[in-house]
Amino acid sequence: AAQFDHQLQTQDVSQGNFTFGEELSHAVGALIAANNIFISLICFVGGILIYPTVASLTLNGRMVGGLFGLGAARGRFMDVVNLLMCHGTLELMALTMAGGAGFNIGFALISPGRRSRKVALTEAALDSRILALGIGCTLAVAAILEAFVTPFTPPAIRGLIGLITGIGYITF
């Protein structure tokens, strides 16, 4: 937060911490995708124990909320929105869905109904596997946007891309 606060006060925030050149975008995109998929796996698999999913979603929510709050406090709220909206719209929705899928599995374990816990857990896991595939694809698209579009595209275009992808994802 201190680094971002310094940047808000002294630099153009439109590129955020994206200080890499276009030639490194493919490597940065792969690292971003790996990180996001790891976090979604924590949300998904951690649903069995409930706490890891709650902790991961809470931590990510506090981080994003803190960035927005810091931007607002420095009079740069829209700069932060434009920075995060392009890729963050898909990224945050996918992580939230991973948490929901994880909770679905955890709920099957806690409250299996008339089924055995094993049967309820198996059914919930099978139902959630399709969501996991969609979440993985969504996070890959978000990583591509974050590596190739967010750092090198004007803020208005980034905002439009975020709006279009968000509406498209929700509609889908």
Asked if 71 contacts 77 with a C-beta cutoff of 8 angstroms, the reply is yes
For the chain, the DSSP string reads -HHHHHHHHHS-GGGTT----GGGHHHHHHHHHHHHHHHHHHHHHGGGTSHHHHHHHHHHHHHHHHHHHHHHHTT-HHHHHHHHHHHHHHHHHHHHHHHHHHHHHHHHHH--TTS-HHHHHHHHHHHHHHHHHHHHHHHHHHHHIIIIITTTS-HHHHHHHHHHHHHHHHH-
Q: Which residues contact 27 (CB under 8 A, 6 or more apart)?
A: none
Q: pTM of this prediction?
A: 0.80
Q: Please, which pLDDT band fits residue 6 given cuts at 50, 70 and 90?
A: low
Q: What are 63-74's pLDDT values in tens digits? A: 999 989 998 998
Q: What are 33-91's pLDDT values in tens digits? A: 888 889 999 988 888 888 999 999 999 999 999 989 998 998 889 888 888 888 989 99
pLDDT at 1: 58
